C-alpha cells in the first residue's frame, strides 16, 4: 500500500468527522461526545504511526528533515488541544471555540503534509520504499486499533 494514499485516506476520514462536529451546537452534547471520541481515536492512531514510522524516515534526509521536525511540534499542539477538549464540557461555548482552533490546526497540518511534505518525500524515497512504508504504517495502525479496542 502506498504510504501517502493511506495517510490521505486517514486525513479524509478525520476531515469528515471534523465537519460533523462543526455542524453541531452546544445542545448536541451526546452527539458531540460520540463524534469527539471517534475523532480523538483517529487522530491518536494517525499521529502515533506518523511519529513512529514516517517522520523518523523523513528526518534522515536533508530535504525533509525540517518539515518532519515541524510536524512533531504540530502534533504536540493538536494532542494538547485534544486533551483539553476531552476533559471539558461539550455544551460550553469555550469548547466550541477551542474545537475551532483544533480544526484549523489539523487542516493546516494536513495541507502541509499533503503538499510540501509528501512532494519532498517523493523526491527522496523510491516507489518501493513508499510502498514498504505504507505496509508498515498499515500494520502499525491495525496494532494500535486492536490495542484500543481490546
Delimit the domains of the chain by residue range: 3-149
Label residue 127 exposed, middle or buried (CB < 10 Å: 0-12, 13-18, 19+): exposed
> With a threshold of 0.75, does the pTM exceed it?
yes
pLDDT value for 23: 94
pLDDT value for 150: 78
pLDDT value for 134: 97
Rg (CA), the chain: 16
Give the C-alpha separation, 58 to 7, whole Å. 15
pLDDT value for 84: 97
36 contacts: CB under 8 Å, gap ≥ 6: 21, 85, 86, 90
Q: How far apart are the first and last CA of the chain?
A: 26
Nearest Cα to Cα of residue 133 among 44, 6, 24: 6
pLDDT value for 26: 85
Residues of the chain with pLDDT under 50: none
Amino acid at each position: 500500500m502506498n504510504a501517502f494514499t493511506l495517510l490521505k485516506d486517514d486525513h479524509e476520514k478525520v476531515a469528515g468527522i471534523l465537519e460533523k462536529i462543526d455542524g453541531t451546537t452546544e445542545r448536541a452534547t451526546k452527539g458531540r461526545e460520540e463524534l469527539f471520541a471517534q475523532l480523538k481515536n483517529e487522530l491518536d492512531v494517525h499521529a502515533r504511526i506518523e511519529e513512529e514510522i514516517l517522520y523518523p524516515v523523513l528526518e534522515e534526509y536533508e530535504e525533509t528533515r525540517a518539515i518532519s521536525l515541524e510536524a512533531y511540534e504540530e502534533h504536540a499542539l493538536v494532542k494538547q488541544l485534544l486533551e483539553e477538549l476531552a476533559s471539558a464540557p461539550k455544551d460550553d461555548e469555550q469548547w466550541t471555540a477551542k474545537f475551532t482552533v483544533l480544526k484549523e490546526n489539523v487542516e493546516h497540518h494536513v495541507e502541509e503534509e499533503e503538499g510540501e511534505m509528501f512532494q519532498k518525500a517523493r523526491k527522496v524515497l523510491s516507489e518501493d520504499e513508499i510502498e514498504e512504508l505504507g505496509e508498515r504504517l498499515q500494520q502499525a495502525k491495525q496494532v494500535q486499533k486492536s490495542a484500543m479496542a481490546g
